[in-house]
A and B are shown apart, each in its own frame.
Chain A
Amino acid sequence: MTTTEEPALQFPLVRECPFSPPAEYRQIREEAPVTKVRTPEGKQMWVVTRHEDVRQVLNDRRFSANRFHPDFPVLVEGGNALRNRPESERSMIAMDAPEHGPARRAVLGEFTVRRMEQLRPRIQQIVDELIDNLLAGPRPADLVEALSLPVPSLVICELLGVPYADHEFFQEHTSRLIKRTTSAEGRREAFETVRAYMGDLLAKKEAEPTDDLLGRQIVKLREEGTYRRDALVSLGFLLLVAGHETTANMISLGTLALIENPEQAAAVKADPGRTLDAVEEMLRYFTIVDAATARLCVEDVEIGGVTIRAGEGVLAVGLAANRDPEAFPDPDEFDIERGGRHHVAFGFGPHQCLGQNLARMELQIVFDTLLRRIPDLKLAVPVDELPFKDDASIYGLYRLPVTW
């Protein structure tokens, strides 16, 4: 393969429909599973599409997660908001070994399966109250506004110790950050604004540490003598942004999948023991974070028979991997019985989603409660009229009009 030629394909690609990956994914995976494409910045980048290769890339130290590096591949013009930021602002998502492990372990204890299980009653209460309000309000209603966004926002706010009263502010800025059509300047501005907000919040918590994740981090890091506000702003920012937009989109898309697959919805309703299997299948099927699992190669590596050189960018395409028939028979079928927990919707390797068990818990409670309390939930508009987030780096729905 000659690599000097300009590759024909331009990323990112848009999904054919909410249920189908871009058609090119299949073609690439079958014909040249590791291939070069163009990015919106006019640079070149490798894309890796087979399940096995994606897992290899994401679990190999020769691929760096240094998102501050000018050559780190990004799918928006003008670079991501992290490019060339000062070193003191680096958070785990942009770190490599040996720095990454300790940074992640500093908060991992807050996200264990057991800790998430302790949150269950409170999450159930939040979901019940929101559904009470939904049922008391007019029909049709927008599920995104009524449920998808408030559930994860309320939960992450309580966990971190961020006032929920400010949710419109940070939801709006997050949505600007992840929209590909936002200018580089607009992204930088949204980024600075949320950082400043988080800085003010931490200044208050420094004076009077609260019993929440951010407050506990301040106390712990001060005891260790390593507290730096800049670094905790980055962590708080990361958790706040990663913690609500992703789960919100999965609530919307998962609900759509249940409405469109009534037999499987009935099976879940009959046996709540299956809800987690349904959640895993939704995660695989939609793979909403498809473009964030990029890496920068720092040492030549052979992947799928192709040599990737130090300095080259790579995107591990999660949605292509999650529809790889080698890993998932009949990959385009939505099937809650398939046992597909080896999907890469949360990534793979050291950066595999820190909040995955929080997301699972929220999704499980939302779907169980929705199926039980609004069994005749249906769409208020045809599927092809729904506003899907084709222009965002996290896939999902802007609105989901439902009735019952």
Chain B
Amino acid sequence: MKIIADTGKCVGAGQCVLTESELFDQSEEDGTVIVLNDTPEGELVEKARQAVHICPSQALSLAE
């Protein structure tokens, strides 16, 4: 599985960072998402799914 982030859509709400700070961070410059690890494994897979579900702007998706 691979996490795909569309920073053009991201509104910097930080909900993904709150969900899992091992996978996501935000740019200091403009607050948009930075994917720290785009190939999560184990427990992080479920966290990635949660982040996709909760993101307010559909900026995150998963390629299985």
Contact = CB atoms under 8 A, between A and B. Distances in A.
Contacts of A350: 11, 56-57
Contacts of B30: 105-106, 108-109
Q: By DSSP majority rule, is chain B's interface helix, strand, loop, or mixed?
A: loop
Contacts of B35: none
Interface string A355-390: 011001000000000000000000000000000000
Nearest to B13: A352
Contacts of A357: 14, 18
A348 interface: yes
A59 B57 contact: yes
B56 A109 contact: no
A113 B17 contact: yes
Q: Which of B11, B32, B50, B53 has the most CB of A within 10 A?
A: B11
Contacts of B31: 105, 108-109, 111-112
A104 interface: yes
A349 interface: yes
Contact of A113 (B18, B50, B54, B56): B18
A252 B13 CA distance: 24
A112 B57 contact: no
Interface residues of B, number: 23
Interface in A250-283: 276
B8 to A, nearest CB: 8
Interface in A100-152: 101, 104-106, 108-109, 111-115
B37 interface: no
B29 A352 contact: no
B16 to A, nearest CB: 9
A112 B31 CA distance: 6
A346 B55 CA distance: 12
Interface string B35-64: 000000000000000100110111000000
Contacts of A353: 13
Interface string B1-19: 0000000000111110111
A112 B54 contact: no
Contacts of A114: 17, 25-26, 28
B24 to A, nearest CB: 9
Contact of B12 (A112, A346, A348): A112
B32 to A, nearest CB: 7
B12 A104 contact: yes
A309 interface: no
Contacts of A360: 18
B14 A112 contact: yes
B18 A112 contact: no
Contacts of B11: 101, 104, 349-352
Contacts of A347: 56
A109 B58 contact: no
Contacts of A354: 12
A312 B29 CA distance: 37
A59 B18 contact: no
Given A352-B13, A356-B14, A112 B26 contact: yes
B57 A105 contact: no
A85 interface: no
Given A59-B57, A348-B56, A349-B56, A105 B18 contact: no
Q: Which of A352, A353, A354 has the most CB of B within 10 A?
A: A352
B56 A59 contact: yes
B54 A342 contact: yes
B54 A341 contact: yes
A349 B12 contact: no
26 contacts: A58-B56, A59-B56, A59-B58, A104-B11, A104-B12, A105-B12, A106-B30, A108-B31, A108-B32, A109-B29, A109-B31, A111-B12, A112-B26, A112-B31, A113-B18, A341-B18, A341-B50, A348-B56, A350-B57, A351-B11, A352-B11, A353-B13, A354-B12, A356-B13, A356-B14, A357-B14
Q: What 10 pairs between A and B have smallest CB-CB spacing?
A: A108-B31, A352-B56, A105-B30, A112-B26, A108-B12, A113-B14, A113-B17, A348-B56, A352-B13, A350-B11
